[in-house]
Amino acid sequence: MNADVLLIGADWRLRALLRAQLIEEGFDVVALGSWDEAELLLRKRAVSARATVFDLEGEPNPQAALSTLARLVPPPTSVVLTSSAALPPADIRRLGFDHVIARPHSIDDAVKAVAALVTPAHDAPG
């Protein structure tokens, strides 16, 4: 399963709103509710995306999840959403993730970060 964006997040409200806005902007999105599910699919190569958005809110071990994610997808193609309860932005950047958005943030902040990384498939040249 190929997509423009792989969206991972336990908070279904944020995940649903962000997925809807990304689709509205023309991105093909695969949204998953848990890191465990995403990790399994990534390891099996059952899903691939041009960009990954990972919302750390509610993730029981965000540092371990990001360390594993960094081995499965290139960190420069990822946007990490975080909060002071999850993991500080400086710690995320030390793991190689440059695109970090701390709460409070808007859906638009995340969409703009994705748009800076990838053009929707229907707009891609070629």
Digit-coded pLDDT (tens) for 52-86: 999 999 999 999 999 999 999 999 999 999 998 89
Report the pLDDT value the prediction gives residue 125, as an integer from 0 to 100. 52
**Residue range 91-101: average pLDDT?**
96
H helices present in the chain, as ranges: 12-24, 35-43, 62-72, 89-94, 107-117
What mean pLDDT do residues 96-114 have? 96
Count structural domains, the chain: 1
pLDDT in tens, 23-52: 999 999 999 999 999 999 999 999 999 999
Q: Which domain holds residue 19?
A: 2-123
- Judge whether residue 105 has pLDDT over 80: yes
Q: Are 49 and 2 in contact (CB under 8 A)?
A: yes
Looking up residue 50, the CATH number of its domain turns out to be: 3.40.50.2300
Residues 6+ apart with CB under 8 A from 111: 18, 21, 22, 25
Residues 6+ apart with CB under 8 A from 29: 3, 4, 5, 6, 7, 19, 22, 23
